[in-house]
Amino acid sequence: MVEAKGLNKPVKLKNELAELLNATELPRTEITKKLWDYIKANKLQAKTENGKPENAGKFIVADAKLLPIFKNTKSTSKSGKVTDLTHLKEGQTIGMMQMAAVVSANIE
């Protein structure tokens, strides 16, 4: 059996993410896919920042289940851009490009 590497290698999920996705270990690709499945199933996309939830758009609305996961996120990218979602409130949005930072912040 070939050991999975990179994005396909299972990683340990932090508690809030593990509860939402009902798993303790998943590859990053699966984490992202399952998060998007949840977002779409619950119509948590908005076309505008902090806009009303719709079925499409590039912003993701933090509901009660996503909020604790988003709030774990405080990171600096290689380019120096800071993603700090620790003060996010329910109903506020994050940009879909911030999802990678969210996933990284919620795995060990």
Span 26-85, pLDDT tens digits:
999 999 999 999 999 999 999 999 998 888 899 999 999 999 999 999 988 889 989 999
pLDDT at 7 over 70: yes
Residue 26, CB-side half-sphere exposure with 13 Å CA sphere = 22
Residue 74 included in any domain: yes
Is residue 4 domain-resident? no
Domain that holds residue 22: 10-105
**98 contacts: CB under 8 Å, gap ≥ 6:** 73, 83, 85
The answer to whether residue 15 is domain-embedded is yes
> Does 63 reside within a domain?
yes
Query: Is residue 5 in some structural domain?
Result: no
The reply to whether 72 falls in a domain is: yes
Q: Which CATH number do you get for residue 26?
A: 1.10.245.10
Please give the tally of structural domains in the chain: 1
The answer to whether residue 90 sits within a structural domain is: yes
